[in-house]
Structures are given as structure tokens and as C-alpha cells.
Amino acid sequence: MKSWITALIVLFLSLAVTGSLAQTGHSVEDEEFNLFLFTLAAAFFAVVLGATLIGSLIATLFLLCVFLLVSAGVLSVGVLVGFYRRSVAAGFRTVLMIACIGGGMTAGSLAFWLIDRVFDIHLQPLTALLAGAFSGLVGGLLLGVILFNIIRVFLNYFRKKLVF
């Protein structure tokens, strides 16, 4: 967003400068063309810089999520369950369930706390957080089961399509 704003500011300033030079009577045929090219180059570099920043932000957030999962032991537990049951699907299901339940509990706690604040239900903060965590646990468990089944259906569909 900032890159677009920067590009628009540069474009506006370049148009203002060329308009003021044209009104003073100076012959700026070649200078206008160079200024126009400079404006296009500045806009291009602003877009490239913005795309680079957004891409690096997405990559950083992905790596942060992987780091959090590893530090919480979720991926380790998934690998251990996969080895114990001798199934990649079991390990993946474990990781998906733990991640969905953890995310659901966090989102449920925050949502229920915000609902308590907005609608003034007069609950104790701990009660609101625990009720939200329980509802998020149930929602996360259901989400994990549904996501695992959807992924399994898609994988079976693509496996059938790839068989000759």
C-alpha cells in the first residue's frame, strides 16, 4: 500500500513540475520526456519494493509459524506418531489436529473475551476466556477432522487422475 502511495506522490510531483515549467514558457520537450521516464521508473521501483516487502513478510510469517510449531513440539509429536503407527497420514492428522485445536482455542478465547466486552455480559474475565477456549477446542477439533477428510478426498482424487 505504501508503495502505491509513493508511486502516486512521485507521479503527482512530476506532473506538477512539468506543468509549472510549461507555464513559464521554457522549452522542455526533452526534459519532459526524461521526467516522464523518471516517473515511470520510480513507480516501477516502488511496485517492486512493495512486492519484495510483502513477499518477505509472508515468508517471515511462514517461518515464524514453523518455528512456533517446532518449539511447541507439535511437529515432533507428529513425526513420533507417524513412526509409531507407521503411517504418514497418522502423523499428518496429529499435527493438523493439534494445530487446529490450538488455533481454535486461541481464537475462541479472544472472540469470547471481545464478545463479553462489546455486549457487556458481565462475566469474569477468566470465565470468558475458559468458555471461549472450550468452544474453540470443540470448533478446532471439528475443523481438524473436516480438513483432514477434505485433504484425503483431494489426494485420492489426484492419485486416481495421475494413474495411467
Q: What is the pLDDT of residues 87-132, one digit of tens each?
A: 888 888 998 899 899 899 999 999 988 888 888 888 888 888 889 8
pLDDT at 32 over 60: no
63 and 80 both lie in a single domain: no
16 and 46 both lie in a single domain: yes
Expressed as residue numbers, the domain containing 84 is: 73-162
**Centroid of chain to Cα 91:** 25
**Chosen domain end from 47, 70, 93:** 70
89 and 116 both lie in a single domain: yes
38 and 82 both lie in a single domain: no
Instruction: Find all residues with CB under 8 Å of 136, minimum gap 6, and list them.
Output: 101, 103, 104, 105, 106, 107, 108, 109, 111
**Chosen domain end from 20, 54, 70:** 70
**86 φψ region: left (φ > 0), alpha (ψ -120 to 50), beta (else):** left
pLDDT at 33 over 60: yes
139 and 91 both lie in a single domain: yes
pLDDT at 143 over 90: yes
2 neighbors 47 (Cβ within 8 angstroms): no
Compute the distance between CA of residue 154 and CA of residue 38 in angstroms, rounded to an integer.
Answer: 49
101 neighbors 144 (Cβ within 8 angstroms): yes
